[in-house]
Structure 1
Amino acid sequence: MDDLTAVRELEADVPPLTDDARSAARVRLQHAIVQEGRSGALSRRLMLRVAVAGTAAAAVAGGVVVAARRDGDTGAPRMTTLNAAQLLHKAADRSRADSADTPIPRNDQYLYTKTYITRTYVKDGRVKTWTDESWMSVDGSKPSRREEFGKVHNDPPLTKHEVRWPPTEYAKLAKWPTDPDKLLKWLRMEQKSTPQADMQAFMNACMLMQGPRVMPPGLEAATFEAVAKLPDIRLDYHEVDALGRRGIALSYPETSFTFVFDPKTYAYLGLRLKGSSAKKVHGEWRQVAWYHEMRGLEELGVVDRIGQRP
């Protein structure tokens, strides 16, 4: 059986992916190839597994919202005077000023998250909500328990050929550059600035911010400043985050993800996703029921075992 046949069989009963999910999967695969290339060749079968696993994760986790900062500084200037780049620099300053309450995780621990999800359907305005709890092994060496839309998934440990991109290990994240220019090169995967490379950089920034992970000092701020250097970023002043607070969205053309910020404090509120459900019609998958989805990370902590809460 050749690889194309394997892919077709794997996708036979899977809804078609969005362009954003495919882009995210492609990034994961590229990173896996680079990592494996340092130690030896990666088999075609394992490459396929990494690609498919990355695609599924991107499709599921694309709308995850990370922890919001505490509100404050209500006397800040009104956001209507700022453009997209200025907003991101304000958000970076706010990020540096905030203190991190989450302890630094060890590789043998778990990242605990409690997430509030709200999905609003475009056609009729219906709203569905979920509150999910998950325990992710920091380095992937232990089983993880992940709850998605109320359903519990018990994930096995990663194999030596499987990678997470971006990483969740604090030691690996600490090696990421906090200089915005250098970080932007990483987010572009060392490519020159083109519309496609810039879109990939924006997607990588979304994947980094979606969590769950504990950011080393300065990395979150540098991410905002790196995105500020992209030429086509734009603002939308009519967003609402998952917990009902008003927010301003920042997006990149032809992507369905948006960053959401507080309009007064510049605090980062999370990510918003436009997506759709899919169903089989006469043997073919069709996109139906478009929706907007937000995820509010109510709690992020570090624990020693599955089932434990901070």
Structure 2
Amino acid sequence: MNGTEEPCVVTPAYRTDLPTTTDVMFSYLNKNGSGDAGDANAMGKDVQLLAGETYLPPRAKVALFEAAAQMPGLQAVDHVTDAAGQPGVGVTWPGHGVTLVFDAKTYTYLGTTQRAVVGYGIVDHVGQLPR
């Protein structure tokens, strides 16, 4: 490392340690997020990270999205597309500059207006590729 790079930290993709109720998830995002407590932009980025880069059990995913709906400044956006052109509905908030995109019927996370989820897989160890 040249002093400007951060070391890679392996974290589990399947998160069983997250809250499964809306109020507790909101508190978790508020207290454990990447920014100061109450920073809606930081909380939104954490929602994006959890929705797009982890696999959550159904109850935790519901709690995450319901907690996101309680965030100050949250706005729903109709007729958006992710970076791959997949149509959906979006969620955005002030200062974020990116819209999270969900399938309009299933609410599956599709990505953002800048990045698309085109597939994913879960592996047992670093370096293994999904089948």
Quickly name the TM-score band, shorter chain normalised. 0.7 to 0.9
Match of 2:12 in 1: 168
Cα 1:197/1:308, change in 2 over 3 Å: closer
How many pairs align? 128
1:294 paired residue among 103, 110, 115: 115
User: Aligned partners of 2:107 and 2:13: how far apart in 1?
Assistant: 27
1:246 Cα offset (Å):
1.2
Q: Which runs of 5+ in 2 are unaligned?
A: none
1:261 Cα offset (Å):
1.5
SS of 1:296's partner is: coil
Cα 1:258/1:271, change in 2 over 3 Å: same
TM-score by length of 2: 0.75
User: Aligned partners of 1:305 and 1:255: how far apart in 2?
Assistant: 31
Do 1:239 and 1:260's aligned partners in 2 also have CA atoms closer than 8 Å?
yes
**Alignment deviations for residues 4-42 of structure 1 (CA, whole Å, 9 cap, x no partner):** xxxxx956xxxxxxxxxxxxxxxxxxxxxxxxxxxxxxx
SS of 2:123's partner is: strand
SS of 2:23's partner is: helix
- 1:266 and 2:110 equivalent? no
2:40 paired residue among 198, 202, 206: 198
Do 2:31 and 2:37's aligned partners in 1 also have CA atoms closer than 8 Å?
no
Identity score, percent: 26
Q: CA RMSD in A?
A: 3.1
- 1:187 and 2:35 equivalent? no
Match of 2:60 in 1: 219
Q: Give 1 or 2 for the bigger CA radius of gyration.
A: 1
1:246 paired residue among 87, 95, 106: 87
Q: Which runs of 5+ in 1 are unaligned?
A: 1-8, 12-51, 54-155, 273-292
Amino acid at match of 1:261: F
